[in-house]
């Protein structure tokens, strides 16, 4: 099947192969099942000793993730679009609670915008959440190492986005229901500018929050 035929096929199954949200039918059954198992393992520590004061922060970050990931920027070279991921922001603010916000955001995107998939919700959540949780764990380490706020945000924002793109690439390459090798590489290339933007964006956010409300970046850890 040619690239043009694969793009046409992806549209017919409501599947944007270039996005970091995998749609129903894109992945093999073992990978779909593994995604749900992985999500369950991520949600257990996220729900552990969840406090009432944590709920508003999770709600705000769920909304930010939902809105940011719903704004698509069309590309001129290939017939698709990219969008912000914002998993670095969610991870830095929520740390181990990040899976809750990301899972809710992904579910809302599927229900309200038909973006992503229901069967692949677990796998999509793992792809985006794992780098977010790692970013949250790395934030205090970078702070103790003396890395300035903008540098912390830039490294973790770009790193979390790059991690999600890399995991999505690996999933498409190794677990796709079809042969998505060429398209997986296009996914990787198409999101390189997004990684840079995510780094600058989180760097600016962290520098601002460190000045006005630094406790927001340490609560709930």
Q: What pLDDT, in 10s, does the model give residues 90-112?
A: 999 999 999 999 999 999 989 99
Residue 166 burial by CB count (10 A; 0-12/13-18/19+): exposed, middle or buried?
middle
Give me the percent of the chain exceeding a pLDDT of 70. 85
Say yes or no to pLDDT of 183 above 80.
no
Output the six-digit token pair for 178.
């079809």
User: What pLDDT, in 10s, does the model give residues 1-29?
Assistant: 434 444 444 444 444 545 678 888 889 99
Contact 210, 149 (CB under 8 A): yes
182 CB contacts (<8 Å, ≥6 apart)?
3, 6
Q: Is the dihedral of CA 98, 139, 200, 171 positive or negative?
A: negative
188 CB contacts (<8 Å, ≥6 apart)?
165, 166, 169
Domains and CATH numbers, the chain: 3-217 (1.10.1760.20)
How much is the average pLDDT of 56-71? Answer: 89
User: What pLDDT, in 10s, does the model give residues 161-170?
Assistant: 999 999 999 9
If one compares 132 and 219, the residue with the highest pLDDT of the two is 132
Can you give the C-alpha Rg of the chain in angstroms?
17
If one compares 1 and 42, the residue with the highest pLDDT of the two is 42
Say yes or no to pLDDT of 39 above 60.
yes
Tell me what pLDDT residue 14 has.
Answer: 42
Tell me what pLDDT residue 72 has.
Answer: 62
Q: Could you tell me the CA-to-CA distances from 149 to 143, 191, 211 in Å, in that order?
A: 8, 25, 9
Tell me what pLDDT residue 12 has.
Answer: 40
């Amino acid at each position: 099947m040619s690239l043009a035929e694969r793009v046409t096929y992806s549209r017919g199954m409501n599947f944007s192969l270039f996005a970091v949200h995998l749609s129903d039918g894109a992945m093999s059954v073992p990978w779909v099942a593994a995604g749900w198992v992985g999500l369950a393992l991520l949600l257990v520590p996220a729900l552990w000793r969840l406090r009432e004061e944590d709920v508003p922060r999770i709600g705000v970050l769920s909304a930010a993730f939902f809105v940011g990931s719903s704004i698509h920027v069309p590309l001129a070279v290939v017939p698709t679009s990219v969008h912000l991921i914002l998993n670095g922001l969610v991870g830095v603010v929520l740390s181990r609670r990040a899976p809750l916000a990301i899972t809710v955001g992904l579910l809302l995107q599927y229900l309200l915008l038909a973006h992503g998939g229901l069967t692949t919700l677990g796998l999509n959540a793992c792809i985006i959440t794992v780098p977010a949780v790692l970013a949250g764990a790395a934030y205090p380490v970078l702070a103790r190492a003396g890395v300035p706020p903008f540098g912390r945000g830039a490294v973790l924002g770009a790193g979390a986005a790059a991690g999600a793109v890399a995991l999505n690439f690996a999933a498409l390459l190794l677990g796709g229901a079809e042969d998505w090798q060429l398209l997986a590489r296009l996914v990787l290339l198409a999101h390189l500018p997004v990684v840079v933007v995510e780094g600058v964006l989180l760097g600016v956010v962290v520098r601002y929050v460190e000045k006005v409300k630094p406790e927001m970046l340490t609560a709930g850890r």
